[in-house]
Amino acid sequence: MFQYFYHEILRKTVVSFGTLFNNITIKHKNNSGDIVSELKVPLSYGPTQKFLARLEQSPDLNKPTQMSLPRMSFEFIGLNYDSQRKVTTTQTFISSSDSKEKKAYMPVPYNMEFELSIMSKLNDDMLQIVEQILPYFQPSYNLSINLIEEIKEKRDVPIVLNSISMNDDYEGDFSTRRALIYTLRFTAKIYLFGPVSSASEDIIKKVSIGYLAGSSDSNTKIGERDLRYSVEPTAAKNYTGISVTKLTYDIEIDDISIDVDDPELIPENSYIYIDEETLYVRSKSENKLLVTRGAYETRKSKHVSGSLVKKITEDDNKLIEIGDDFGFDGGFSWRCPKNTISWMKNLMSQMIL
């Protein structure tokens, strides 16, 4: 059931979420309104407690320097299934990429929970940062993420702002370090995809059906039938592009006898392909072929002398394209015990083919 695959969807969402806040800037002004300093607020991945601990203790007592504020941190804190966006799990879709068709099951909706923490010493710094964030969420912001490169699956992921909480960490005497902390909680509504496979690998090459049918009553045994039916897809046109001969004369739409240069490689009861028309070869005599025009519902058309005649072979069957309205070469067989004429009539009246 399970197989290895890794689309990095969760990782891409975490990275993309962080990039939303990596360009926040604060400015300090003097009493005259002139900008005296400008600072880009640093952003890191990690829990808030980690940075608060660094505010209260130094990893090296010989270095009295401490972590500078303001700064921001974000963390991926939860993942849960979103039943409101559920789709049919067995439904598949096909995507074309690099001239190859890929198949994947419909994605599964999940919600990723994020927490963005903003730490500041000055209240004005905090207000500048928050005001640069909140206007973009009403209450969601669509973030474009290239989920699966293999099938070029790019989606807009809504980032929803759920709540905002504030904490003024100010305890102790006047000299105690102050830390303003704003916590913003977000939800990213993502989709997780399963493995991607080549669509051509899933083409059904052969179907066989067999069933036993019969009935009886207390007086007369009506009969028993063993029915079998098998089909194999056969190409309705030539895919290899290999020609075996060419037309000697022009042929009109209604002509059923055609002349070719060399019919040796064209057996009776076979299919040939001329331009965009498929023809069934019923018989041949010397260089003449008796054909049925417009086989496999292809369009009958005129063909000029010198047109290439291609034979449809087993090699073409292996190259059937997805969506091709190919024909089926089927075989049907049934058997029953020999019995009276009345039994046969009764049997034939019940048989449904």
Condensed to tens digits (0 to 9), the pLDDT of residues 82-132 reads 988 887 665 665 665 555 667 777 888 999 999 999 988 888 899 999 999
Condensed to tens digits (0 to 9), the pLDDT of residues 240-296 reads 888 899 999 999 999 999 999 988 889 999 999 999 899 999 999 889 999 999 998
Least confident of 74-78, 119-123, 176-180, 273-277: 176-180
Give ranges for CATH 3.30.2000.40 in the chain: 9-199
Ramachandran area for residue 297 (φ above 0: left; ψ -120 to 50: alpha; else beta): left
| Domain spanning 9-199: CATH 3.40.50.970 | no
Strand order through the sheet with 197-198: 92-97, 100-105, 197-198
Determine the 3-state secondary structure of 81 from DSSP.
strand
Determine the 3-state secondary structure of 173 from DSSP.
coil
Condensed to tens digits (0 to 9), the pLDDT of residues 191-249 reads 998 888 765 555 555 556 665 555 545 554 445 555 665 656 678 888 888 889 999 99
Contacts of 94 (CB under 8 A, 6+ apart): 101, 102, 103, 199, 322
Cβ atoms 170, 180 nearer than 8 A: no
CA dist 306 and 294 (Å) reads 20
Look at residue 66 and tell me whether its pLDDT is greater than 50: no
